[in-house]
Chain A
Amino acid sequence: MTDPQLSTAERLARQAERVSADLAAQDASWQGGWTRRSFLAGAGMVGVAALGSQLVTTRAAYAASGLSNGNTLICIFMRGAADGLRILVPASSDTGLDYLTTVRANLVPASANLLPLPGAPGWALNSALNPLLPFWNTGELAFVPAVSVEGVTRSHFQAQQCLERGSDTATTGWLDRALQQLGPGTTFRAVTQGSALPAALTGDQTKLVMSSLKNFSFPGWDGVAPQSETALRTLYRGLPGPLGQDVPTTLAALATAATARAKAGAQNGAVYPGGNFSTALADLATLLRAEVGMQVATVDVGGWDTHTDEANQLDRNLTSAAKALAAFLTDLGPARRSRVTVVVMTEFGRRVQMNASGGTDHGHGSLMWLLGGGLAGASVYGKWNQLSAGSLDSGDVPALNNAYDVLGEVAQKRLGVGQLGTLFPGRTFAPLGLAKAV
């Protein structure tokens, strides 16, 4: 579809066809009830902007009213419950080091492997996070310890669902409801890197799940690709259920993906390590550079359920995660980074006491990380009680800070979501003051 051999006129004609096909598909789905879908496939592209006169006026106006503020929220979920106490380590008597060394001596990094955090006395970073330290120094890294939400149990699956749905009773995800409030955007406004949709994005809003930007093109002989795409639009027109949305969305995204691919390649000297997580972040950087209108993105990274041999397992995972995140932030460069906020979360923290296998069992209060633009400063936010036998909740870090408050503050101040009531039903919002409003 983006064959350079095509004349501008032909390219515009094809885009017009694609946009009208998209609109027809949406008409069909709207008959079953209003869903706020994107009309402008690849709204960031010059070609489509030039087509403005061909779009039905009210729809264009409606779409324009929902244009994003240009910021992006990236949610990274560390599946398996990462042990916050070995990531951001309470490193003084005041924060609880003495207790830690009595119950998990082998899991407290040696002082040579702890990085002090200027301005956050009593805390130190696992040295595996060394690549991220420069961002602490520029106010682009922060943490919230002892974080959880009401209703979270020590079950991985229940806890993930509870956190991602924004309440223990909601049937859609909190990010899906954030998108609903933001109104329509481009086909790329919500991107999941991976092979399946996370619970945070389940719901009616359109979103794009891609395993890699590199392979995001219509397969087979190019000579029949446009005809095949046209046929597929008809075959799926009006189909109820997820495929009736996903097929038109996918087809609408192909041309934009091709344009974005032209922007691939790390910038600013960033070097990504290997691995799926790294590839996913590199793809997101490419999409951000291509200005495809991405408002929300999610990435999952697994391997944190360290019931055994935690010191080795966790540090290995942290090393590659920190390198990948540092490469991503570097790749974006300071200006673009100021419009991108990354939240790293996990379903719960781990037991303070080490188990017999050199690991830790399921616990409660966990650690959230915030990176990138719009933070109120490098800091450890929220409440913390000195760790001691008496201050724990059934042997675990207590929930002193609310994860919905963190997510809500970022959604409100960075994405411009107006009301948080539908995102986190029943929660009386108490921001920690960790982000700056746009």
Chain B
Amino acid sequence: MATTFWPSIAAALRNTPHTTRAPMVWDPASLLMSRFGFGIEARTRADLAHYGLDDWWRNQVAFGRGAGAGYAGHAGVAAQGPLLKKNPAEVRAWLKANGNEYGWEAMDQLTRVTLGLQAWSHGQVYEAVVDFFANHLNVANHSDGVWTTRHTMDRDVIRKYALGSYASMLLASARNPAMLQYLSLASSSKKAINENYGRELLELHTVGIGAGYTEADVQNSARILTGRSLDADFNYLYKPERHWVGPIKVMGFSHPNDTAEGGEAAGEAYLRYLAYHPATAQRLAYKMCVHFVSDNPSPTLVAELARIYLRTGSQIVPMLAAILRSTEFWASRGAKVRRPAENLIATVRALGVGPGDLTKSLQSLHWMSSAVGQVPLDWSAPNGYPAVASAWRSSGSLLNLWGYHRGLAQNWYDGFAELDPLTLYGAVKPRTSGEAIIALCGRLTGSRFPAAHLQALQTFLGEPAGTPIADSRLRWYLPHLIPLILDAPQHALR
């Protein structure tokens, strides 16, 4: 099917044939919230019905830019991250006063608050976009030397510009203490160039490896950014005496770079050149389409996003809106596999399990995401967690996730509000075993299961579909049936 674009999101949806990958069925709300959010839950379904797609989108963007910006999407979760408000020196002082000057508390709070907002923030679009850019400009949390600074990358760079312009985000990242530490820019100087940041800037943050830069370009990329350093309190500080002076050429960019004092401005000019480079537009557009649409997006969709990026001066929201105004997006249900942590958070949301004790529930989500290899922000290499399904194949993760489905449905874990499984039937109480299965599948996955799947679940219960609910073995087996539905491909795919 050729991709077409429409003036509004609702029009794109109206003009999309009801296409999905089996066994998924047509359910635009589930699709939307599995890509621009961490999974559908009852409240969002109601919001979408109330506002309509285009107003819902505008509300979500406005919330992420305003009342829900930073960590404000969920007040209780935000309160779990008091250190995230502090500057590096204040964090260090707090750590020292609390017994371990080199402790991981600030990094841990960032992990836990991120998980909590993904699970329970009203600003789901904002969280989804933050997740995308946090991986695009990855600085591994829990890596060496960022124990007092890592949250500033999240707070002052990613969250600040996630719904703004990419050029601003990139320029801020090139002055961020955590980024400077992580990619060794803080220790690069004219006497001894460290190429780490200069290379990843080209390869990962902007134009990409196919853009035709040379090893000499990499060296110049590192040279022009020397002098970007940190003060004793781990705040950004430009130190002219460390700046390499002399003419610079990288790809089509050249600069006399003839004074140490002017080195910072020369670096900004270079960063802007990269930010607005067509190869950066193309690369970011492609990554966005893979993340939000499918592992193999059409060249038409990618080209449209790249065009918007260049036309709007790297504005992120119009690119995202173009995805939603495309028929390709709405026809893509089932095209992506949920990565392990996405499956975990979507399970919490599908079951409607709220945070009982936030401290404990966030700790639970932390170890749970760790056991499946996807703690948010913790990917150790600078390229971010892989977006495509083929990178995540793992029997061990499948078994862990099936365990989480059981544990969350059966109240095994600390900190979550107790789930009464009977509430999952919704307003209309089922009369038979078969009706109960259909209701649960719809509520948990937004899908009507095909006959063979319904029969498999019926066989699991060991009774015919027509069994009256009063006589049904669901009395005992409901807490075991619920996780089995979440194990199904209708929840594993998105």
Q: Which residues of A contact B (CB under 8 A)?
A: 79-80, 153-158, 192, 194-197, 202, 207-212, 215-221, 224, 227-228, 230-232, 234-237, 239-243, 246-247, 249-250, 253, 302-303, 305, 307-308, 313, 355-357, 359, 361-362, 394
Contacts and interface: CB of A to CB of B under 8 A. Distances in A.
B215 A154 contact: yes
Nearest to A156: B381
A155 B203 contact: yes
Interface string B368-401: 0001111000001101001001111111111110
B164 interface: no
Given A231-B457, A235-B453, A243-B337, A216 B395 contact: yes
B409 to A, nearest CB: 9
Interface in B399-433: 399-400, 402-403, 406-407, 410
Interface string B205-236: 00001000001001000000000000000000
A411 B373 CA distance: 30
Contacts of B284: none
24 contacts: A80-B381, A155-B209, A157-B383, A194-B394, A195-B394, A196-B373, A196-B391, A196-B394, A202-B390, A211-B372, A219-B399, A219-B406, A220-B402, A220-B403, A221-B480, A232-B488, A234-B456, A242-B389, A243-B337, A302-B380, A302-B381, A307-B184, A357-B188, A361-B194
A158 B195 CA distance: 16
Given A215-B400, A216-B399, A242-B337, A362 B391 contact: no
Contacts of B192: 355-357
Contacts of A235: 453, 456, 487-489
Nearest to B450: A235
The CB with the most chain B CB atoms within 10 A, among A194, A208, A303, A307, is that of: A307
B209 A195 contact: no
B399 A234 contact: no
Given A210-B395, A227-B462, A231-B456, 6 more contacts: A195-B340, A196-B386, A211-B394, A220-B403, A308-B184, A394-B215
Contacts of A250: 395, 398-399
B460 A218 contact: no
A194 B399 contact: no
Contact of B398 (A247, A307, A359): A247
Contacts of A302: 380-381
A209 B456 CA distance: 27
A70 B488 CA distance: 37
B20 interface: no
B188 to A, nearest CB: 7
B23 interface: yes
A211 B400 contact: yes
Interface residues of B, number: 62
A79 B380 CA distance: 10
A157 B203 contact: yes
A228 B483 CA distance: 10
A195 B399 contact: no
B153 interface: no
B398 A195 contact: no
B196 A361 contact: yes
Contacts of A221: 480
Interface string B453-464: 101110110100
A196 B394 CA distance: 6
Nearest to B490: A235
A202 B392 CA distance: 11
Given A197-B394, A211-B394, A224 B187 contact: no
B293 interface: no
Contacts of B477: 224
A410 B359 CA distance: 51
A217 B396 CA distance: 9
Contacts of B402: 218-220
Contacts of A207: 393
A32 to B, nearest CB: 13
A231 to B, nearest CB: 5
Contacts, number: 173
Given A157-B383, A211-B400, A362-B195, A230 B187 contact: no
Given A157-B203, A246-B393, A361-B194, A217 B399 contact: yes
Question: Top 5 A-B pairs ranked by shortest CB distance?
Answer: A195-B373, A356-B192, A219-B403, A209-B394, A234-B456
Contacts of B386: 196
B10 interface: no
Nearest to B140: A302
B189 interface: yes
Contacts of A196: 373, 386, 391-394
Contacts of B394: 192, 194-197, 209-211, 246
A362 B215 CA distance: 11
Nearest to B485: A235
B483 A356 contact: no
B456 to A, nearest CB: 4
A197 B340 CA distance: 13
A106 to B, nearest CB: 12
Contacts of A362: 195, 199
B469 to A, nearest CB: 20
A200 B192 CA distance: 36
B193 A218 contact: no
A355 B194 contact: yes
A98 to B, nearest CB: 21
Contacts of A357: 184, 187-188, 192, 194
A154 B193 CA distance: 16
B459 A230 contact: yes
A37 to B, nearest CB: 14
A303 B143 CA distance: 10
Contacts of A209: 393-397
A206 B2 CA distance: 34
Contact of A230 (B389, B400, B460): B460
A155 B23 contact: no
A284 B452 CA distance: 38
A207 B340 CA distance: 18
Contacts of A308: 144, 184, 187, 194
A195 B372 contact: yes
Nearest to B21: A240
B234 to A, nearest CB: 15
A307 B455 CA distance: 58
A282 B192 CA distance: 42
Contact of B395 (A202, A232, A246, A303): A246
A195 B480 contact: no
Nearest to A194: B373
Contact of A253 (B184, B395, B459): B395
B492 interface: yes
Interface string B1-37: 0000000000000000000010100000000000000
B194 A220 contact: no
Given A196-B393, A235-B487, A307-B184, A228 B194 contact: no
B23 A211 contact: no
A247 B203 CA distance: 35
A324 to B, nearest CB: 18
Contacts of A241: 337, 389
A194 B392 CA distance: 10
A197 B393 contact: yes
Contacts of B195: 361-362
A246 B196 contact: no
B381 A79 contact: yes
A203 B221 CA distance: 36
Contacts of B43: none
A243 B22 CA distance: 13
B493 interface: yes
Nearest to A193: B396
